[in-house]
Structure 1
Amino acid sequence: MTLIQPPSDQVLDRAAALLADGKLIAIPTETVYGLAANAWDRDAVAKIFAAKQRPANNPLIVHVAAVDRIAEAAMMPLAPELQHQLDCVVDFWPGPLTVVLPRASHISDWVTAGRDTVAVRIPSHPVALRLLERCPFPIAAPSANRSNYVSPTMAQHCDGPMDQPGIHQFIEMVIDGGDCDFGVESTIVALQQGGPRLLRPGGISAEMLADRFGITVEQLTQATNDRPVESETGNEVTSAMLAPGMMKEHYSPSTPLVLYSATQANSSSKRVGRIAFAQLDASDTSRYAVVETLSDSGDLREVAKGLFAALRRMDHAGLDLIVIDTCEPVGIGLAIMDRIHRAAATPLS
């Protein structure tokens, strides 16, 4: 029996009740599908880590329904400098922007990996917002896949054994909100004394944020001086990350992934697939067992939207190797290249 349900009012009412009862469900957002739990319920949040096999030092993003509900997750009022920074970007909400703020006391260490900060956002997906409006609590929702695997961008990715050891056996329901519009996770920026810092590129570009903050992209993206803290939320003490999506290896298919180079040779003894960002000519196409074209014209918005789904299809195509195109790390290209480098476990230069 499928877990996938349409986003009717009746289904959303049931979903809110399941979350209130400490259960896990998969929900659509404009970025990727999330594995959702009541962010105020410590035991429910712990189930997320068990389901995803997620390390306890990797914090979660908390989703709230509106700006006037930020206090459900963050300590309000903010210090004047932090409030000014938030005011600069608040109109990106609802949308694919996450901000790291001082945490509220009722947010558990499981959510924040023991840190005194919390990552918060307001999703723009209408189904996610309708669900959040029904819940008198915020929702913690990392991507609905096992830790380090390719993020899900359609409901079918959350309901089945194809990414075993998957998470479908841990969830009560998948709410089908269609394909995700952005296809890569939200931008994460830390609002802090001394200036904001970009922690993860995403749908809101570094250039857009730097313009709002009145600083350069270089200032926004410079390495943070944040010092790791010790997390004791799991079975062992580890250094807690400041935000999700900061692991060197992440978003990875099981099939080896390499970045395309025009000089590389393809062995005829291997089944090699190619993920292309634009149409290839016939001679290029013939070199590969499978070719996925993400955009006819090379539109990077289309590339971002289709990236994770293509990686999943390639991963189940019986290939020995996946070769993927690259782009300039500018605008949404920075988010695309961040995901590709982490999926291939190569450094982002």
Structure 2
Amino acid sequence: MSTQQTFRSVPPTDDAIDSACRFLAAGELIGVPTETVYGLAANALDAAAVRKIFAAKGRPDNNPLIVHVADLDAMQQVVRWPLDPITMRQFDAIVDLWPGPLTIVLPRSDRLPAEVTAGQSTVAVRIPSHPVMQQLLRRSGLPLAAPSANRSKYVSPTTAAHVVDGLGDRVAMVLDGGACSVGLESTIVALGERPRLLRPGAITAETLASRWNVPVEALLPVDQQPVVLEAPGMMLQHYSPQTPLWFAERTASTLQGRIGRIAFAPLPDNEREKFAVVRVLSPTGDLEEVGQRLFAVMRELDSMALDAIVTDTCPPHGVGRAIMDRLKRAAFRE
């Protein structure tokens, strides 16, 4: 019987967290909960352990990792400190959003192996708010490189079971911290000459623009594949189920076969009956609920041998910007 068949996640007891700390110190990988998605964690200061992340995920080595730290003091292990005055002013305007679903790209410390940053001069760093991840960071005393705990380009995991299903034979253990409360990967911003939004998330572009007193449009990237991946989540195809994903307003009437439907709010009966299976993400169409459940439902429908999945869309504003970013990348076709 394979490791994956017998592997189970474990509750985050004191003993389990102590075991996780020992695995990390020994250069092993573990699955960890955060408020955004589950991460595949390794000691960020251990180049060999970091290389295991790329191997386990099948991740391109030009795609940098996010480093998670417990607090601002720990951040200075991985960031070149102090920051220059312009960057420091931008940083000070948003630092109170930590702990939380925000990642900031800053100049990297020489202590970090090049593998973490894909050889770049910057590092993406975050202070997560999930209590289990906070305990692990504090008790291990390590900065943790932790991309999403799934195979590269597949739908991100939002429960411990998702990690076990996808990577159970590649990790030493998975700490089960329950379903992720946000359900979408963190917002990523780069600071420097001007602040830039590299990946939208629950911390919205509108919130950030107000902090920096700039128009939202000034933060947004050009809508094309970057030559250099400055941060995770920037590939054109990402978060993708194996089942083809289509947008409802374009294709629902033309697809044939067993079709699944992701609805952001309840559908009328005459619309529901067109589909083999329907999943409603929010009883009221609340986009925070939609974001929290989106990946779990995409994974569920992907396991049902459907011919296609049709999903609702929403205006790309507020958290809707993050939802549409994930859906467009999930539906991308060469």
Q: TM-score, normalised by structure 1?
A: 0.91
Query: What is the Cα deviation at residue 262 of structure 1?
Result: 6.5
The CA deviation string for residues 237-263 of structure 1, in whole angstroms up to 9 with x for no partner, is xxx410000000000000000111177
Equivalent residue, structure 1, for 2:323? 336
The CA deviation string for residues 34-63 of structure 1, in whole angstroms up to 9 with x for no partner, is 000000000000000000000000000000
Equivalent residue, structure 2, for 1:173? 173
Residues 1:79 and 2:84 aligned together: yes
Query: What is the Cα deviation at residue 73 of structure 1?
Result: 1.2
Query: What is the Cα deviation at residue 335 of structure 1?
Result: 0.2
Measure, in 2, the Cα distance between the counterparts of 1:296 and 1:136: 42
Equivalent residue, structure 1, for 2:7? 2
Query: What is the Cα deviation at residue 30 of structure 1?
Result: 0.2
Whether the 8 Å CA contact 1:266–1:287 is kept in 2: the answer is no
The CA deviation string for residues 243-297 of structure 1, in whole angstroms up to 9 with x for no partner, is 0000000000000001111774245x50000000000011000000010100011
Query: What is the Cα deviation at residue 214 of structure 1?
Result: 1.1
Equivalent residue, structure 2, for 1:98? 103
Whether the 8 Å CA contact 2:252–2:310 is kept in 1: the answer is no
Measure, in 2, the Cα distance between the counterparts of 1:131 and 1:32: 16
Equivalent residue, structure 2, for 1:232? none
Equivalent residue, structure 1, for 2:159? 154
Whether the 8 Å CA contact 2:226–2:234 is kept in 1: the answer is no
- The correspondence for 1:243, drawn from 212, 231, 254, is 231
Alignment of 1:10-89 (within 5 A): 10-89=15-94
> May I ask how many residue pairs the two structures share in their alignment?
329
State the AA in 2 paired with 1:288.
F
The CA deviation string for residues 19-44 of structure 1, in whole angstroms up to 9 with x for no partner, is 01000000000000000000000000
5+ residue gaps in structure 1? 161-165, 229-239
Query: What is the Cα deviation at residue 109 of structure 1?
Result: 1.2
Measure, in 2, the Cα distance between the counterparts of 1:124 and 1:313: 27
SS at match of 1:111: coil
The CA deviation string for residues 144-189 of structure 1, in whole angstroms up to 9 with x for no partner, is 00000000000100112xxxxx322110101000000000000000
Alignment of 1:118-133 (within 5 A): 118-133=123-138
The CA deviation string for residues 183-204 of structure 1, in whole angstroms up to 9 with x for no partner, is 00000000112x1000000010
Query: What is the Cα deviation at residue 70 of structure 1?
Result: 1.1
Whether the 8 Å CA contact 2:272–2:278 is kept in 1: the answer is yes
Whether the 8 Å CA contact 2:64–2:117 is kept in 1: the answer is yes
Alignment of 1:287-302 (within 5 A): 287-302=274-289
Equivalent residue, structure 2, for 1:236? none
The CA deviation string for residues 291-348 of structure 1, in whole angstroms up to 9 with x for no partner, is 010001100000000000000000001100000000010100000000000000169x
Equivalent residue, structure 2, for 1:204? 203
State the AA in 2 paired with 1:22.
G
Equivalent residue, structure 2, for 1:112? 117
Query: What is the Cα deviation at residue 99 of structure 1?
Result: 0.2
Measure, in 1, the Cα distance between the counterparts of 2:226 and 2:271: 47
Q: Quick one: structure 1 residues 180 and 245, their matched pair in 2 at CA, closer, same or farther if it must change by over 3 Å?
A: same
Query: What is the Cα deviation at residue 3 of structure 1?
Result: 2.8
Measure, in 2, the Cα distance between the counterparts of 1:72 and 1:307: 35
SS at match of 1:159: helix
Q: Percent identity among equivalent residues? A: 55
Query: What is the Cα deviation at residue 2 of structure 1?
Result: 3.2
Measure, in 1, the Cα distance between the counterparts of 2:237 and 2:171: 25
Measure, in 1, the Cα distance between the counterparts of 2:131 and 2:205: 25
Measure, in 1, the Cα distance between the counterparts of 2:12 and 2:85: 40
Q: Quick one: structure 1 residues 242 and 262, their matched pair in 2 at CA, closer, same or farther if it must change by over 3 Å?
A: closer
Whether the 8 Å CA contact 2:189–2:195 is kept in 1: the answer is yes
5+ residue gaps in structure 2? 1-5
Whether the 8 Å CA contact 2:101–2:203 is kept in 1: the answer is yes
